[in-house]
Amino acid sequence: MKLAFSTLGVPGLPVPDVIRLATAHGYHGVELRAHPEEPVNPGLDLARRTEVADRFRTAGIEVLGVAGYPRVAAPGDDGPVIEEIRRLVDLAHDLGARYVRVFPGAGREETRERADATAARRLGTAAEYAADHDVRVLLETHDSHRAAADAIRVLGRVGHRNAGALWDVMHTWLAGEQPAESYAALAPFLGYVQVKDIASAEDTTPLALGAGVLPLAECVEVLSRHGWDGWLCWEYEKRWYERAAPLPELLAAGRDELSRLLNESA
């Protein structure tokens, strides 16, 4: 498996510094948070996108994916949501990234059936566009659809290879699933896996990998046992927790912890 980290852990960091951190600490790639406050976002013109892609390519660091914020199960018109995903797909394509991350985000007033149908319809349309750009749109296990069982209700309806799943191990754990259950459900759709660690279900402040309660060893063991050879991406949510330790000082130990888990599960 290959190791990456998300720039959510170092919000606003310029691209050369992201590359420096990845190179210095032995990560193979990065997931770029594509919010407008970040240096890399859908507002970049083609010349700047080409420059960014060249920088990563020259450094030998892969842009794993573009983490966007469309909410595919949210109430409202389809048009704006689909257009937002298309802009992210264009960005991913121009950067040489394989994946675009989207959220479910169903409103509390939505029934499960209606939310699932809305998400499947939008993902189906987005997947057709993504297929033309060699990109996959991944529905993250998150918010209204945090369990793998929730995500596959949607993805099973879509039935398109360019619509897949992003397994956030914290959310499936919070939903009460065991790693083996989550993997079994998501395996046919799995794009990559987001790892992290937290103190408890009540305190989701990000911690160094291995310092919290999430079943990271079990997740890695399940993936290894089934011969899965994709990406593990450390999503350290520093952006939302100001008191959390800075990510750069944790990156080396995080890489070592993931490498240890991979070696033990081999």
Residue 184's pLDDT band (cuts 50, 70, 90):
very high
CA angle (198 as vertex; 195, 201 as ends), nearest 5: 115
More confident position, 265 or 165 = 165
Average pLDDT value for residue range 90-115:
95
pLDDT at 110: 85
Question: What sign has the CA pseudo-torsion 230, 167, 13, 21?
Answer: negative
pLDDT at 265: 85
CA–CA distance, 255 with 14 (Å, rounded to integer): 21
CATH architecture of 2-265: Alpha-Beta Barrel (3.20)
Give the residue carrying structure tokens 């079990």: 218
DSSP structural state of residue 133:
T
CB 260 within 8 A of CB 254: no
Q: What is the mean pLDDT of the chain?
A: 96
Percent with pLDDT over 90 in the chain = 96
pLDDT at 107: 84
- Judging by beta carbons within 10 Å of its beta carbon (0-12, 13-18, 19+), is residue 8 exposed, middle or buried? buried
Amino acid at 3: L
109 has a pLDDT exceeding 90:
no
33 has a pLDDT exceeding 80:
yes
3-state secondary structure of 215: coil
pTM of the predicted protein model: 0.97
pLDDT at 242: 86
Residue 68's pLDDT band (cuts 50, 70, 90):
very high
pLDDT at 51: 98
CB 13 within 8 A of CB 251: no
CA–CA distance, 221 with 216 (Å, rounded to integer): 8
